Amino acid sequence: MATRGFGGRRTPADVASRIPPGQALTTGFPVLSAGPTPRVKLAEWSFTLKVGPRPLVKWDWDAFNALPRTRITRDIHCVTTWSKLDTDWEGVTIDDLLAAAGFAAPPTPFVLAHGFDGYSTNVPSADLVGGKAMVALSYDGAPLAPDHGGPARLLVPHLYFWKSAKWLSGLQFTETDTAGFWELRGYHMYGDPWREQRYHDDL
Ligand SMILES: Nc1nc2c(c(=O)[nH]1)N[C@H]1C(S)=C(S)[C@@H](COP(=O)(O)O)O[C@H]1N2
Ligand SMILES: [Mo]
C-alpha cells in the first residue's frame, strides 16, 4: 500500500487528467530562452508599472521584496509539449502589486509584460488577478535561478509558459491587446493549453 505523501499520491488517472491535449509529462525543468540569459545585478534591478507609455510606480529590489509574499503550487505547460506538475513558487501576486500601486482593479483590459532581454508577451488583465498570477522570486524554496528568469519572472501558470516572461522588468497596462515577441512570430494571442491555442489561427 502506498502512503499518502506530501500533496497526496498521484494515480495514473489523476496525472492524465492534468495533462492537456498534445502534452507529455516531464520531471525535469527544461530551459527555453530566445537568447542568452541576461545578468541583472540586484543593485541595478528595478520593476516598473506603466499605464500606456506612463511609468506610474517603480520599485527597486529592496522595496519589491518588502511587498506581501504568497506561495503557490501549480502545473505548468510549455508549447513545446512538456508539462510539469506541482511546481512550487513564491512571489508577489499581481493583486498585491496592484494594491501596492493604489489600484483596486487593473487600470486597463490588457497587459504587456517586459523582460530585461527585450522579450515581451501579452496577457489579458483578467488572467493576472484573482490569485491566478504572480511575479515569482523563488522556485522550490530557493531564489529563482538566472536561467529560469531570476531575479524575478512573471508566472501565469494556466496559460502556455511563453506567457510567463522571465527576467521581468515591468508590466505595462494597455487598452488594446498588443502582440509580444512570440505572438508577433505566429504564436497565439491568448495561449490556453486546454484548448491547444498554440499558433495564431488556432481557435
Ligand atoms: N524574458 C523572456 N521570458 C521568456 C522567454 C524568453 O526568451 N525571454 N521564453 C519563454 C518561453 S518560450 C518559455 S517556454 C518559458 C520557459 O521558461 P523556463 O526556461 O523557465 O522553462 O519562458 C518564457 N519566458
Ligand atoms: Mo516556449
Beta-carbon neighbour count of residue 167 at 10 Å?
25
Mutate to test the pocket of ligand 1, among 162, 168, 183 (most ligand atoms within 8 A of CB): 162
Q: Whose CA is nearest to atom 18 of ligand 1?
A: 31
In the chain, where are the structural domains located? 44-195
- Identify the band that residue 4 occupies on the pLDDT scale cut at 50, 70 and 90: very low
Nearest ligand for residue 121 CA:
1
| pLDDT tens digits along 16-58 | 999 999 999 999 999 999 999 999 999 999 999 999 999 999 9
Please give the grid coordinates belonging to residue 158: 494556466
Q: Whose CA is nearest to atom 13 of ligand 1?
A: 162
Mean pLDDT, rounded, of the chain: 95
At residue 3, does pLDDT exceed 70? Answer: no
- Identify the band that residue 1 occupies on the pLDDT scale cut at 50, 70 and 90: very low
Beta-bridge partners for 25: 83
At residue 88, does pLDDT exceed 60? Answer: yes
Q: What topology does CATH give the domain 44-195?
A: Sulfite Oxidase; Chain A, domain 2 (3.90.420)
Nearest ligand for residue 80 CA:
2
For residue 6, what pLDDT is reported? 52
Q: Whose CA is nearest to atom 10 of ligand 1?
A: 162
Distance CA 134, CA 131 (A): 8
